[in-house]
Every structure is written in structure tokens, then in C-alpha cells.
Amino acid sequence: MTGAITGAITGTIPGTITADVVIVGAGMAGVGLAADLSRDHAVVLLEMESRPGYHSTGRSAAIFIQNYGNASIRALNRVSAAWYADPDPALFPTPLLSPRGCLFVADAKGLAKHRALMAEDEGLDEISPEEAVGLVPVLKRAPILAACYERTSSDIDVAALHQGWLKKAKASGATLLTDARVDGAARTGGTWQIATNGGTVEAPVLVNAAGAWADRVAAACGVAQVGLQPYRRSMAVLPSPDDASRRWPLFGDAADAWYCKPDGGKLLVSPSEEDPVEPHDAFADDMVLAEGLDRFQQAVTFPVTRVERSWAGLRSFAPDRTPVAGFDPSAEGFFWLAGQGGYGIQTAPGLSLLAGSLIRRTPPPRGLEPVVAALSPDRFRT
């Protein structure tokens, strides 16, 4: 194993660098794995943007919901929840989670989704429509036919998590190279030679944590793609009608037609759209946003008169909507860590621990043994 690489946490590539592991992408997935691996591996992070966490990581709704995702996602949620409850205080001196709660309300179109949620209940309480309106007084009572509430749902301090992991990786000797686009890669003599716009980096293990660009990175490396599809998700910032909104839970339509999160005295409202797009620096579509805000308007009692600002991010899914984590069976030393969809922040601790164990070839974290096969890229190669 080579010695730890030293250097500034940002910078440009000064020629050829040798490491044990090169991670492409410095969003939450990449830095979480770097923080874990750098304690016993020389790690280089390659980030194509001028700063890490620019795309999906920096545009997350930042909420932890246990009752969200399929069985594999929920297993990762459980492991991540235990980690969030007791993070390293030296890196995270203030709590990463703060109480929020999550309320789902169902009209006639959402009853089937409500029943599906309750059938998979993990700490989800079915409540009356009147109780739902008591939690969020701006909701119209008449359309609500059913409701459920997750009391343990929490806000996530995304910036603190990302920066804490970067700090840990740096302290352990990892190097982050920004403005470093992967132009191509080839494996020779058991080592990946990765060509970037600023130089060459080489390592036995190449981790593809490039988010919406992960399939493109694979293609540049001569590795078969797995069929990742980025989807746009928009958000509008509205003025709050009531100072009491700070105490409201996140609330949304059970059929996923919209959701709203109180944040800093404002309301963050999303149309919950999933529009397939190419990887790009996403921005909100005005028509999609207007249609989503109209759906939200029909569910609440106050008028939506002004959008203060808006943005959009990309959520990338594999065909089976399960993350891809593991060594590619047809490309030695090529490790996938992609396809986290809308679950990437809340599952990041569990996925980082799992990916670290798979790269070290040690047993997976307790509780994640059953999901190793479900996440493996092997499922796309048979």
C-alpha cells in the first residue's frame, strides 16, 4: 500500500499522482467513502466542478424519512439512523439531525399509496384527517381522506455532514482535486490510469461516485453502463403565511403530487416531478413549477402569490430504483457507488460504511448483509 498523499484540500492536478483508491465525484457519496477509506488507504478525490457538493448534494431537501424507499433503501436507512444518532463529536460538534416529523395526506387519488405506506409501516402512525390539520393548520380538511405521520423524521444538516467528512478525509491524508474532469481511463498491469484535463492519476481501485454523470464516467473508462437515468426535481421558495410554520412537519401528498418543507421561516414547495433529463446543471422549468404549485394551492387554505426563488436538482436512479454499490464483475478494480436517487443524503452513512467494507473485502456492517447482492452491479451483467 502506498503512503498517504498530502496536499491542499483543493487545487489543480500537478502531473501524475499515485494512490490506492481514486474516487470520481466529491458529492456526499464520494466524500463519505473518502472519510472512511482514508484512514488506511491513500485516497484521491476527483471533482469536475470548482467546489465539491455543487450538484445534487447542495440541492437536497435535507430530510431523513425512515418510511421512504424499497426494502434495500430502508435497510440502509436503519444503519444510517444509528450512525446519525452518535456521530464523531470531534467532526460534528452539533447534532446532524433535528426533529421535524413527516406528514402524508391522501385524497382519493392517494388512498392506494397511503395503504401501501401503512402496509410497510416502520414507526408510521395512522392519524385522522382532523389530527393532520391540527399538525398543519393551513391544510384544507375536505380533500383529506386518510393521513399518516412519522414522528421520528428529522432535518439533516447536509452542509455539516459534507464538510465534516471532507475534514476527516483531509486529516487522514486524502487529497481533493477540483476542476478535474475524467477524460478517459484504462487498466494496465493491475492499475487504473485515469486521464483528466489536468494530468493523470493512477490507482488499483477506481470508484465511480459521479452521480448523474456516473454512466458517462463508466463509458469514458471503457466500462459498460448500468442504465442510470437522471430525473429533474424542482423546488420553489414561498413566503410563509404564519410564523408558526417553523414548528410544522414536512407535509406532502401521499400520491407524491407535491410536498412542502418549512425552512427558516419560508416554505420549500416541490412539484415532486420526475422528468428524465441528460446530466446537466439543472434549473427549474417554470411550467412544471407552476403546475406543481397549483396542485399545492388546491390542498392549502392560503393563496400562493409569490415565488421568492427556485432551483432544481438531479436524482439519478438505476432501472430497479436501487443504488449500485460494488465492484463491476467485468472490469477489475472498477467500483460503482451511484444511483442513490432521492435517498442519497439519508443513506450516505450506511452506504459509505458498506462501500468501505466491500473495497476492503471485509464483512459488511451488521444489518446490511442482505442488501449486498441487491446493490451489486452484477445484477446488470447477467
Output the pLDDT for position 255.
Answer: 94
Q: State whether 129 and 178 are in the same domain.
A: no
Beta-sheet strand order (sheet of 334-338)? 175-177, 43-46, 21-24, 205-208, 334-338, 324-327
Output the pLDDT for position 60.
Answer: 72
Q: State whether 167 and 276 are in the same domain.
A: no
Res. 8: pLDDT tops 60: no
Compute φ and ψ for 38, nearest 5 degrees. Answer: -70, -10
Res. 11: pLDDT tops 60: no
Per residue in 118-133, pLDDT (tens digit) is: 999 999 999 999 999 9
| Domain around 313 | 102-151+229-317
Q: State whether 144 and 25 are in the same domain.
A: no
Output the pLDDT for position 54.
Answer: 76
Q: State whether 366 and 233 are in the same domain.
A: no
Q: Is 26 exposed, middle or buried (0-12, 13-18, 19+ CB in 10 A)?
A: buried
Per residue in 288-315, pLDDT (tens digit) is: 999 999 999 999 999 999 999 999 999 9
CA-to-CA distance for 84 and 90, rounded, in angstroms? 14
CB 296 within 8 A of CB 234: no
Radius of gyration of the chain (CA): 21
Output the pLDDT for position 356.
Answer: 98
* Single residue among 317, 337, 353 that ends a domain in this structure: 317
Cα within 13 Å of Cα(64), Cβ side: 27
Question: Model confidence at 53, in pLDDT bands (50, 70, 90)?
Answer: confident
Output the pLDDT for position 15.
Answer: 62
Q: State whether 311 and 183 are in the same domain.
A: no
Per residue in 254-300, pLDDT (tens digit) is: 999 999 999 989 999 999 999 999 999 999 999 999 999 999 999 99
Paired with 146 in beta bridges are 106
Q: State whether 219 and 237 are in the same domain.
A: no
* Single residue among 302, 317, 332 that ends a domain in this structure: 317
Domain count, the chain: 2
DSSP string, 298-340: TTBSS------EEEEEEEEE-TTSS-EEEE-TTSTTEEEEE--
Q: State whether 210 and 342 are in the same domain.
A: yes
Res. 2: pLDDT tops 70: no
Q: State whether 244 and 313 are in the same domain.
A: yes
Output the pLDDT for position 12.
Answer: 43
Mean pLDDT, the chain, as a whole number? 93
Q: State whether 173 and 201 are in the same domain.
A: yes
Output the pLDDT for position 62.
Answer: 86
Residues 339-344, mean pLDDT to the nearest whole number:
92
CATH no. for residue 249? 3.30.9.10
Quote the percentage of the chain above a pLDDT of 70. Answer: 95
CA-to-CA distance for 351 and 76, rounded, in angstroms? 7
Paired with 124 in beta bridges are 150
Q: State whether 138 and 244 are in the same domain.
A: yes
Q: State whether 168 and 26 are in the same domain.
A: yes
CB 203 within 8 A of CB 19: yes
pTM: 0.93
Output the pLDDT for position 9.
Answer: 32
Residue 63 lies in a domain: no
